[in-house]
A and B are shown apart, each in its own frame.
Chain A
Amino acid sequence: MSSIYLLIPLSVILVGVAVWAFFWAVDTGQFEDLDAQARSILEDEDSSRSGD
């Protein structure tokens, strides 16, 4: 039963890591253009779009 006192703080830390990862993803522009990647396989030219 006392293991819960270890697991719950652990879960809080995991949430913290998840939030940090999400913030990082937003800041590096991962969510800027969700269509570009899907479209890119249809384009003939081999030019990769660079995120801004």
Chain B
Amino acid sequence: MKTAASPKPDRTAVSLEGHWASESDGQGHVVFNAEGIRCANCARSIRNGLGALPGVTGTEVNVVNGRVSVSWNSHLTSLGAILAIVADLGFKPVPLVGAAAAAARREERRASLKRIGLAGLGSVQIMMYAAGLYTGAFHGIDPALAGFLKWTCLLIATPVLLYSGAPILRGGLHDIRRRTLGMDVTVSLALVLAFVASVFNTARGQGEVYFDSVTMFIFFLLVGRHVEMKGRHQAASVTDALARALPATATRLRAVTDDAERVPLEQLRPGDRLRVATGEIIPVDGTVLAGIALVDESLVTGESAARQRAPGEALLGGSINTGSAITLQVTSAPNASALHSLVRLLERAQGERPRIGLAAERMASWFVLRILVLTALVAIAWAFVDPSRAFPAVLAVLVATCPCALSLATPVAIAAATSRLARLGVLVTRSDAVEGLAQVDTVILDKTGTLTTGNPRVLETQTREGLSSGMALSIAAALEESSRHPVAQAFRAHGAREIRCGDAREFPGEGIEGHVDGRLWRLGKPAFALQDGRAHPFTEDAGILLADASGGAAAFVVSDELRPDASETVAGLRALGLELRLASGDREGPVAHVARRLGIARPAARLRPEDKLTLLRELQAGGHRVLMIGDGMNDGPVLAAAQVSMAMGHGSSIAHAAADLLLLRDSLASLPESVAVARRTLVIIRQNLRWSVAYNLAAVPLAALGFMPPWIAAIGMSLSSLLVVMNARRVLSADVLGRKPPQGPRRTPDPHHTLATEAPQ
């Protein structure tokens, strides 16, 4: 009966090779969809099957979205061999790229709907005839009519079992062949036993028939799987939306003649020159050669405002050129572009199963063995007590103990959480991060680039008697006018047209000297500005001093500006009961300033990376579970050491693979909601596990003792799985913060952008 899925692995390999397989230094890597993955055991059989192939170095199977990710040594094996094994195991490898993957999903959805439709209509109809048979059993029925009804039931139940039940039976058969114990084994056993016994009893004209139980069981099982499949498709569509963003071809300019030719993306090499017309997608990472690009990077970074890119500036693959046509030079291979690393990160996150999930999978296998033993015992016991009741009791035990709910409990909840977090602009790169995020009680925040925008501004100005702060700033701005030092940008915004400095001289690492209005001014470190070592009347932590011949004139605290959503975020985190710490490598002045504005006690300043690590270790030694949020540059070690870490995804930091979570939008606003979503997810996982164990424990004795007819067991089991899936889906829409959840992606204006283009007051 096995319809061997043989999807011509070679042809699949070609289409996969182009898009999703990458090979370098003898190492190959591929991600594809395997149709037919339904349970933890399917995943294990693929892992074991591929693990047995020499040369395969790693296999990851995601039960939730049906994806398989394989790495191999290309000297020892090939992609074709890997795909052939997957096909032999009974799964159909499907390329992951855009249209094909979507079409495959649509086919799966339609087939599933049809199976459910047939099973539903069939079971309702059989129920009607069965009602006649039940009443007949009590009030007497013409044996000829009873026989006729049973044959009619048989007529309807057969296509339901063979068509609607096909994936279940096929799964069971595969499990038996591979000598693994999946839940399909017990379910198929129950279905086949019940059906064969019913056919036998119908033919001999006496004894019970179970056609109603068979069809109803199939119907509920399929409904449960359909709901689970929809969740899986939803998770897949998030990543596909990213992958689909890339076009299949690009317009390349020939080396000498500048003739345009269309080439497949895979053929692009670093150094190639491409033309990207208005409205086209920039296919790979590159730099602008000619023309000024206006790019929409919303897909890659979540940033919604278009940005301008002049010749020499970097472009991200996956962004859209909304400006005029440009020529660009390719800087990375198509498989290594920023968008691809992002998608890979997401794939990795979805493929790595959290520990709870793994435990449930092991439990399921152990469970099935126990069930089979238990069923045998029940059969033997009833054979002594009342042989006529042995068969219904055996059926009921097989049905009631189906551990579907148990093995679904964690993966569906995590998948829902990942999808919800992605909508919030938070990319989960390690899937136990959701669990970790839920258990966090302390948050360490980095300052520069995390709580602040990273763009310097003058935060405080102190002046001596007789000098207005506006005047002081204007003088400073005039001195800094031609400087390229980052601090200069902070002053430039305060420039005034009539105040000029013609002879500014820069002393690298010290400051600037020059004449303004005929007076000699010095701006820079206090030691530089006050050459003769005189004391100045300002506070100790003043970073930059303006001085003339008569001494210190003004002191400025220059630091980068707080993000507009920083205080809201801090308040939100605090409302969740989290303790906040500020750890920065910056000087005391700006750190204290930020801490004061946000109301964070005991800020730590001037921390080197190892000092941050010490602070983290101290907190962890005190039993705290710490979430570290940083922008990943000097925060690397701390990010890696914290229980959970989150990196700002802006700029080039997409590669911050050390972090468990990436903030795709350049904003902190979604942080409190993310923590709340994670907490809710953990609650739901625990509910699910508790429920499914309790249900099985309660149902088994009832079934074994004969109090539960097989059809009630079928309803109970299916409702139990359905409950688990529905419960997990609550993560998607739950009102975790006690307010209405946002509809669709929330867009926040980008502080970088507004600041960079802000006109001087």
Q: Which residues of A are in contact with B by a Cβ distance under 8 Å?
A: 1, 4-5, 8-9, 11-12, 15, 18-19, 22-23, 26-27, 31-32
Given A11-B125, A22-B118, 16 new contacts (CB under 8 A):
A5-B148, A8-B129, A9-B152, A15-B125, A18-B121, A19-B118, A19-B121, A19-B122, A22-B114, A22-B117, A23-B117, A26-B110, A26-B114, A27-B110, A31-B110, A31-B113
Contact of A15 among B114, B149, B156 (CB under 8 A): B156
In Å, the complex CA distance between A31 and B125 comes to 23
Q: List 8 A-B contacts (CB under 8 A).
A: A11-B125, A12-B155, A15-B156, A18-B121, A22-B114, A22-B121, A23-B114, A32-B106
Interface contact B114-A12, CB-CB below 8 Å: no
Task: Kindly state whether residue B145 has any CB partner on chain A within 8 Å.
Answer: yes
Q: List A contacts of B152 (CB < 8 A).
A: 8-9, 12
For B129, list chain A residues within 8 Å (CB).
Answer: 8
Q: A12-B155, A32-B106 are in contact. Are A26 and B148 (CB under 8 A)?
A: no
**A19 touches which one: B117, B128, B155 (CB < 8 A)?**
B117
**Top 10 closest pairs, chain A to chain B, by CB:** A22-B117, A26-B113, A15-B125, A26-B110, A26-B114, A18-B121, A23-B114, A19-B121, A19-B118, A8-B152
| B125–A8 CB distance below 8 A | no
CB distance from A31 to the nearest CB of B (A): 6
A31 CA / B114 CA spacing, docked (Å): 11
If over half of A's interface residues share one DSSP class (helix, strand or loop), that class is named, otherwise mixed; here it is helix
- Give bound CA distance, A1 to B152, whole Å: 17
Using CB atoms and an 8 Å cutoff, list the residues of chain B in contact with chain A: 106, 109-110, 113-114, 117-118, 121-122, 125, 128-129, 142, 145, 148-149, 152, 155-156
Picked from B110, B114, B142, B149, the residue with its CB within 8 Å of the CB of A8 is B149
A residues less than 8 Å from B142 (CB atoms): 1
Query: Bound complex: CA of A9 vs CA of B148, how far in Å?
Result: 10
Query: Looking across the interface, which residue of chain B has its beta carbon closest to that of A8?
Result: B152
B162 to chain A, nearest CB (A): 14
Nearest Cβ distance between residue B213 and chain A, in whole angstroms? Answer: 19
Residues of B close to A8: CB separation below 8 A: 129, 148-149, 152
A41 to chain B, nearest CB (A): 18
Output the least CB separation between A3 and chain B (Å): 12
Q: Which of A1, A5, A12, A32 contacts B156 (CB 8 A)?
A: A12
Q: How far is the CB of A5 from chain B (nearest CB, A)?
A: 7
Residues of A with C-beta under 8 A to B155: 12
| Residues of B contacting A19 in the complex (Cβ-Cβ under 8 angstroms) | 117-118, 121-122
User: Closest residue of chain A to B122, judged by CB?
Assistant: A15
CA distance A52 to B227 in the complex (A): 22
A7–B118 CA distance with the chains assembled, in angstroms: 21
**Considering only CB atoms, which chain A residue lies closest to B103 in the complex?**
A52
B121 and A4 form a contact (CB under 8 A): no
